[in-house]
Amino acid sequence: MSQRFLIVSALTLILIASQIFWVQQVRNWATSLIPSSTWRRRVGIAGLVGYLLLVSYNFLPLWLGFVFDRTLIVGGARSAGPSHLTLRAILFLAHFWGRIGRTRSPEPTHLTLRAALIQAPFWSWIVCSLLGFLIAVVFGLADRISRAARWLYRRVAEASRAVPLPNPVSLARRRFLERTALAVTTAPFVAGAYGMFYERLNLEISHRRIKIPRLPRAFEGFRIAQLSDIHIGPFMTTEEIGRYVSIANGLKAELVALTGDFVTWDPSTQSAVVEVLAGVKAPFGVYGCLGNHEMWAAVEDSITRLFARRGIRILRGERAAIRSGGEVINLLGVDYQSRSPMGPRGQRLVREYLQGVDRLMAPDTANILLSHNPNTFDRAAEYGIDLSLAGHTHGGQVTLEFVHPDLSPSRLITPYVRGWFAKPGGQLYVNRGIGTIFVPIRFGAPPEITLFELARS
Ligand SMILES: [Fe+2]
């Protein structure tokens, strides 16, 4: 049984537990809000049917497709005997249902009613209800421990005094705890609404001066704008990307770097994102590298050709000499590199990051690397690449890094979640990107366009 299957199964069980928890919560609220038991039942049945339809529409096909496609079909298809007939039938239906889920229609590049009224609320509900449930579990455990400690204290105190102590648990305290628990468990929903309607759209322009001692004199003050993780889709429409293109052009950078993840899942969106990004202009050119979503959508070759037709050069294990005043800096770019399989078509691994990149380096000038995955930084610094520009993490996308640096899901895949890093041999900047994946929510990680100014000292 694969590790991935175990993780997906564990997450599914936690998700089911969270949904049972919230159904129970809603039932409790309905009991206090709807006095008539007949109406309560009717509303409950209607709500449950609607909920199951939403689950079936949004979630089940993807889950079945993922689990059955990747784990059981391989073994099940080779199995023989009557005991496997039922399994084969289930596999066939699941595979068919999964395909329907994935190929219902092309991913839209404009906001649709289906995305706004069905997909976004549902996936936001899944994320927020899961977080609320986990908070409730922690809160419940803390409450149990506190009650056990109080009980133990009373027993010890009673034993030493030989007279019973009055029960300190008051009704007011219990109500206070219940209200606090309710406020805490519903907090993710409030945060989710904030993240969807405000923070996701609240672009930050980050300015950063990067010191590169061997920068040629002609490039003193040279400005590079970085955009990353566009993720075109119903919540990153062509109009929205056009707005970011205008903002990037307004920064008047000498060169623009696009660090991957142009599409989200659907290959058919590649032309739309290229067309709108073709509006990015810079006197020294627009360059880019590819992200994991280009690999997953299998558009690496085609999107590179589309970009090339619009004057944008995607560097795929290549370099470009940027010349000014008779001097040059060396721009390098690599495809998404990973040492662990991640997502569809994620089997394409590298044993060692940035293999062969040393041959692309220029020894006597500044080397700047475009690499979607920030994990290549350690190797880049070993090579002596002066500056790496990366994306990929979305700055955590939904994160509590402002509470504690470890409270970010991206920490599971990289120590380089956002911002500037330095170590002997090189520097790294991880851009938070402008798009989102899975849920159109950003919390604690607003979208970002970065403007770098290169300096010799
Ligand atoms: Fe991304």
Residue 264 CA, ligand 1 centroid: distance in Å: 8
Residue 61 CA, ligand 1 centroid: distance in Å: 23
Residue 433 CA, ligand 1 centroid: distance in Å: 7
- Between CA 74 and CA 88 the distance in angstroms is 11
CB crowding 49-70: b at 16 or more within 10 Å, else e: eebeebeeebeebebbbbbbbe
- Between CA 186 and CA 133 the distance in angstroms is 9
Q: Residue 81: its pLDDT value, please? A: 47
- Per-residue HEC secondary structure of 355-396 comes to CCHHHHCCCCCCEEEEECCHHHHHHHHHHCCCEEEECCCHHH
Q: Which of 117, 120, 133 is nearest to 186 (CA)?
A: 133
Residue 16 CA, ligand 1 centroid: distance in Å: 27
- Between CA 456 and CA 212 the distance in angstroms is 5
Q: Residue 402: its pLDDT value, please? A: 72
Q: Which of 94, 67, 434, 400 is nearest to 264 (CA)?
A: 434
Written as six digits, the tokens of 27 are: 């039932």
Q: Do residues 225 and 257 touch, judged by C-beta distance below 8 A? A: yes
Q: Do residues 313 and 287 touch, judged by C-beta distance below 8 A? A: yes
Residue 442 CA, ligand 1 centroid: distance in Å: 13
Q: Do residues 393 and 417 touch, judged by C-beta distance below 8 A? A: yes
Question: What is the DSSP track for 29-72?
Answer: HHHHH---HHHHHHHHHHHHHHHHHHHHHHTHHHHHHHHIIIII
Strands 312-314, 286-289: pairing kind = parallel
Residue 229 CA, ligand 1 centroid: distance in Å: 4
Residue 191 CA, ligand 1 centroid: distance in Å: 21
Alpha-carbon distances of 271 from 233, 267, 309, rounded to whole Å: 12, 9, 11
Q: Do residues 332 and 368 touch, judged by C-beta distance below 8 A? A: yes
**Residues comprising the chain, all counted:** 457
Residue 393 CA, ligand 1 centroid: distance in Å: 6
Residue 245 CA, ligand 1 centroid: distance in Å: 18
Residue 241 CA, ligand 1 centroid: distance in Å: 15
Residue 263 CA, ligand 1 centroid: distance in Å: 9
Q: Residue 160: its pLDDT value, please? A: 77
- Between CA 46 and CA 38 the distance in angstroms is 12
Residue 372 CA, ligand 1 centroid: distance in Å: 9
Residue 299 CA, ligand 1 centroid: distance in Å: 15
Largest distance between two CA atoms of the chain: 94
Q: Residue 115: its pLDDT value, please? A: 79
Tell me how crowded residue 235 is: count the other CB atoms within 10 A of its CB: 23
- Between CA 123 and CA 59 the distance in angstroms is 9
Q: Which of 308, 328, 310, 330 is nearest to 320 (CA)?
A: 330
Residue 225 CA, ligand 1 centroid: distance in Å: 18
Q: Residue 225: its pLDDT value, please? A: 98
Residue 236 CA, ligand 1 centroid: distance in Å: 12
Would the CA dihedral through 418, 419, 423, 426 be positive or negative?
Answer: positive
Residue 47 CA, ligand 1 centroid: distance in Å: 35
Q: SS3 for 9? A: helix
pTM above 0.85, yes or no: no
Q: Tens of pLDDT along the chain (457 residues)? A: 566 677 778 888 998 999 898 888 888 888 888 888 889 889 989 988 888 888 777 766 666 655 555 544 444 444 444 445 555 565 555 555 555 555 456 777 777 877 788 788 888 888 888 888 888 888 888 888 988 888 888 888 877 776 666 665 567 777 787 778 778 888 889 999 999 999 999 999 999 999 999 999 999 999 999 999 999 999 999 999 999 999 999 999 999 999 999 999 899 999 999 999 999 999 999 999 999 999 989 999 999 999 999 999 999 999 999 999 999 999 999 999 988 766 555 556 777 899 999 999 999 899 999 999 999 999 999 999 999 999 999 999 988 877 777 777 778 788 999 999 999 999 999 999 999 998 999 999 999 999 999 999 8
